[in-house]
Chain A
């Protein structure tokens, strides 16, 4: 199981996940979202934001990282 699963068949490349990832761990490659596992802290915001239901975050959130919609707090 990958830390962050992105279903490229469902992803429409809107870029919402990229814009609001608190760690800037996501990017669009060929109009599909892609994650950098090194940067990802497993906060799961992208999974909640994704209008295409294309992201599943399996990685547990890193300790000491409290994330809100406004970013890291």
Chain B
């Protein structure tokens, strides 16, 4: 395996269920870091709590498994103290959008250079299948036995509105696209948000009678379409994929260097 140096092999097989999309995102990320030739000692991964958060234990980077929803502020502290680090911040949908929602929008606003990956499986997996802010109306979950009456956030629109300078969405079915988007997100100078729609066959799939991993991936194949595609134009019900925002804005750590220069000149 080309990325053997990038993982902590002794912890494999990993803890995720058979067919869990989180594994595919980890897989893609490792391929990307390997292909980009990034030095693992320059890599820092910070995660929150939940199934997705376990990802930080598997990569042989500097890793911090923090608290539920708190990956971004912890990562912000690290990045400000060591701006040369390449920060990757994977989060679950509940992690990023519910308990960590405030941190999420402010990290977007600040435009601090890091790559936030929202692993959206539309469910709280670790606690056994409760609905999340990305589940959407009509979903069955252990805490929505009569179907959810909560509308979902559009994570992409939220990131866009909050000022993230790179915003993209893809799925665990579109593995080549995922690699391309992750590469661009890591290369981007500023706050990048990548929403990856991933499958939770154990809770989301089973509870909603949508089948196992294969059927859920087929669902992502059939119900999404690339931005600007004819397919999307023809069917407004499809979920758009691709890069929604890619623009430049002053990066926070660089801006703070200017503050230091100003302060030092003062005395």
Partners in one complex: yes
Assess the A10–B213 pair: CB atoms within 8 A.
no
- Known A14-B212, A14-B213: A51·B16 in contact at CB below 8 Å: yes
Stretch of B17-25, B37-45, B71-79, B254-262 lying at the A interface: B17-25
Which applies to chain B's interface (DSSP): helix, strand, loop or mixed? helix
Stretch of B6-14, B100-108, B152-160 lying at the A interface: B6-14
- Known A19-B217, A51-B20, A70-B221: A10·B27 in contact at CB below 8 Å: no
Q: What is the number of residues of chain B that contact chain A, defined by CB distance less than 8 Å?
A: 34
| Size category, A interface | 20 to 34
Q: Is A52's beta carbon under 8 Å from chain B?
A: yes
Candidates A12, A14, A48, A52; contact of B176 at CB < 8 Å: A48
Q: Nearest residue in B to A67 (C-beta to C-beta)?
A: B176
Q: Name B104-120 residues within 8 Å CB distance of A.
A: none
Assess the B19–A48 pair: CB atoms within 8 A.
no
Going nearest first, the 6 A-B pairs with the smallest beta carbon separation are A51-B23, A14-B19, A12-B18, A48-B175, A14-B18, A19-B214
Given contacts A9-B13, A51-B172, A68-B176, 10 further A-B contacts (CB under 8 A): A12-B17, A14-B201, A14-B212, A48-B179, A49-B27, A51-B20, A52-B18, A54-B13, A69-B176, A69-B177
9 A-B contacts (beta carbon < 8 Å): A12-B13, A12-B17, A13-B18, A14-B19, A16-B213, A19-B217, A50-B23, A51-B27, A56-B1
Binding site for B on A (CB under 8 A): 9-16, 19-20, 45, 47-54, 56, 68-70
